[in-house]
Chain A
Amino acid sequence: GENVEQHPSTLSVQEGDSAVIKCTYSDSASNYFPWYKQELGKRPQLIIDIRSNVGEKKDQRIAVTLNKTAKHFSLHITETQPEDSAVYFCAASLNTDKLIFGTGTRLQVFP
């Protein structure tokens, strides 16, 4: 079955800097890769996703890149703000059969 690894487990950045979180997946058939943000005590919320027929997608300060050959995908957050502080999860699935999540990255943005 699918296995998703996520790094780093914690990430601290200064406000205004960029943050990058990386994931690798094992099942080359996976074709959907979402990213979720979970604030303390809250539900995970979808912030961006990418499908396997696309290499990059951007939405304002966040972007996701996908390298199908290497089975890597990454989340990039530019101009970080304190409200970006949260736990971020990557996930992978085949046709949304089930989402397999990475282990999460705790991002702290210091003012």
Chain B
Amino acid sequence: DTAVSQTPKYLVTQMGNDKSIKCEQNLGHDTMYWYKQDSKKFLKIMFSYNNKELIINETVPNRFSPKSPDKAHLNLHINSLELGDSAVYFCASSPKGDYGYTFGSGTRLTVV
């Protein structure tokens, strides 16, 4: 059983398109995150949701819109994709009162 699953694993799309990435966790965790890992492997937080409520938005362009329909799901929609959006996007989750993050397997987004 995959604890944190993301779909799709790979996404190749043209500039200007709109795309979504989905994330689901079956760990019962309260908090979910989106991180972006660029070509230099730098991991940077984008958003954090706690029980469906947005708690962190790290100066991400408003072309990026997260949505959490319930505490087990956190999706990321990206409008008007740009070349600089190319990266690996990782979803993660953590339980309340504990500290360990569990990461999903990542979505490699390539904008051409």
The A3-60 residues at the B interface (CB cut-off 8 A) are: 32, 34, 38, 42-46, 49, 51
Cross-chain contact of B43 among A32, A34, A45, A89 (Cβ < 8 A): A89
The B58-97 residues at the A interface (CB cut-off 8 A) are: 58, 90, 94
With A97-B56, A98-B33, A98-B56 as contacts: A43 and B103 at CB distance below 8 Å:
yes
**Cross-chain contact A99 with B101 (CB below 8 angstroms):** yes
* A57 CB, min distance to chain B CBs, angstroms: 13
A24 to B5, CA, bound (A): 32
Interface residues contributed by chain A, number (CB under 8 Å)? 21
Q: Would you call B25 an interface residue if the criterion is a C-beta within 8 Å of the partner chain's C-beta atoms?
A: no
Chain B residue, CB-CB nearest to A38: B41
Query: For B43, what are the chain A residues with a Cβ–Cβ distance below 8 Å?
Result: 44, 89, 101, 104
What band does the interface of chain B fall in when counting residues whose beta carbon is under 8 Å from A? 20 to 34
Label chain A's interface by main secondary structure: strand
Query: For A46, what are the chain B residues with a Cβ–Cβ distance below 8 Å?
Result: 100-102
Q: Mark B23-66, 1 if CB is under 8 A from A, else 0.
A: 00000000101000000111111001000000010100000000
With A43-B90, A44-B90 as contacts: A98 and B45 at CB distance below 8 Å:
yes
Chain B residue, CB-CB nearest to A97: B56
With A42-B105, A43-B106, A97-B56 as contacts: A49 and B100 at CB distance below 8 Å:
yes
Query: For B105, what are the chain A residues with a Cβ–Cβ distance below 8 Å?
Result: 42-43
**Cross-chain contact B45 with A99 (CB below 8 angstroms):** yes
A101 to B41, CA, bound (A): 11
**Cross-chain contact A96 with B45 (CB below 8 angstroms):** no
Q: Would you call A62 an interface residue if the criterion is a C-beta within 8 Å of the partner chain's C-beta atoms?
A: no
Q: Would you call A65 an interface residue if the criterion is a C-beta within 8 Å of the partner chain's C-beta atoms?
A: no
A100 to B45, CA, bound (A): 7
Q: Would you call A103 an interface residue if the criterion is a C-beta within 8 Å of the partner chain's C-beta atoms?
A: yes
Q: Would you call A64 an interface residue if the criterion is a C-beta within 8 Å of the partner chain's C-beta atoms?
A: no
Q: Would you call A87 an interface residue if the criterion is a C-beta within 8 Å of the partner chain's C-beta atoms?
A: yes
Residues of B within 8 A of A (CB): 31, 33, 40-45, 48, 56, 58, 90, 94, 98-106
Residues of A within 8 A of B (CB): 32, 34, 38, 42-46, 49, 51, 87, 89, 93, 96-101, 103-104
